[in-house]
Amino acid sequence: MRHQAIAIVGGSGFIGSHLVNALVELGKDVRIATRRRYNARHLTLLPIDVIETDVFDPVELARFVENADAVINLVGVLHSSRGNPYGPEFAKAHVELPTKIVAACEGKGVHRLIHVSAIGADPKGPSMYLRSKGDGEKAVRQAALASTIFRPSVVFGPEDAFLNKFAFLQRVFPVIPLAMPDAKFQPVFVGDVAKAIVDVLDLDAAVGRTYELGGPTVYTLEQLVKFCGDTIGRHAKIVRLPEALARLQALTFELAPGEPVITRDNLDSMKVDSVLSGPLAPELGIEPASIETIAPVYLTGASMRSRFNTFRANAGR
């Protein structure tokens, strides 16, 4: 079935911005929901509808998805206050919102739903983040919808909040105390994530499937930090933190004002390797780009202002 009218929740974020561009290039009719139109100002030149709405309000959400052929949910947060099995911010973004999106789709007769989760999502996972992502997936799978779930590893690209952060830190600090240096990641280019979603949007064989997304190479966190240093020509000394000091460092960041650089829950998430369990599915149609071919362009060309903006970037994950 061809899906022409696409409603995106979380479309103004990092992944969403690339996905919107890819859908527009295909001639799709795209609408995105945002709390404030200002958040989507970088997309205003595209032929899309930017709709100010509260997606957590069932009435407004139903109005947003009405007459859509497909809905794509990209909303994700990296941090939350503590809670069992997860904190309120994770519960709201990762569980309550997918549940409300399912209800809105069912109520308005929208049958196609694509939901972006994360590698390692598991209701019994070691972190609040992974447990909430797992329960969000469960809400999608239990619905009577033609759904597809994507589980990317960490996503990189211009304005990412991952490689840019480590490049920024090495520009500023001579020493980086690094928690979980042996944690493993398989970074995937944001353009490849967008292409994978676009390629399965109209694919009947993708219904009911869960796809992992990753790049061509697995790295440890320490290797990624060193790569960023090599790329920008600034090599901070990396001090590998034992677990006790790592958790103390994370707690300190949690107690400090502003968005934390890392939290204890982030450490718990990194206990699960963020790597593919098998090869990429061929129907995704992607030859994954490497960080070596993509990242140097934006890590070395970024303005100082954009480096500071990485701390506020939302990776949607």
Which CATH architecture best describes the domain 5-155+186-214+273-288? 3-Layer(aba) Sandwich (3.40)
Q: Is the pLDDT assigned to residue 304 strictly greater than 80?
A: no
Q: Specify the 3-state DSSP secondary structure of 228.
A: helix
Per-residue model confidence as pLDDT tens digits over 33-64: 999 999 999 998 999 999 999 999 999 999 99
Beta carbons of 60 and 54 less than 8 angstroms apart? yes
Per-residue model confidence as pLDDT tens digits over 183-234: 999 999 999 999 999 999 999 999 999 999 999 999 999 999 999 999 999 9
Distance CA 90, CA 82 (A): 9
Q: Is the pLDDT assigned to residue 129 strictly greater than 90?
A: yes
Length of the chain: 317
- The confidence band for 105, taking pLDDT boundaries of 50, 70 and 90, is very high
- Domain locations along the chain: 5-155+186-214+273-288
Positive or negative torsion for Cα 293, 299, 302, 306? positive
Residue 270 DSSP class: T
Nearest in space to 317 (alpha carbons), one of 98, 73, 144, 138: 73
Q: How high is the pLDDT of residue 307?
A: 40
Beta carbons of 109 and 43 less than 8 angstroms apart? no
Q: How high is the pLDDT of residue 116?
A: 98
Q: Specify the 3-state DSSP secondary structure of 242.
A: coil
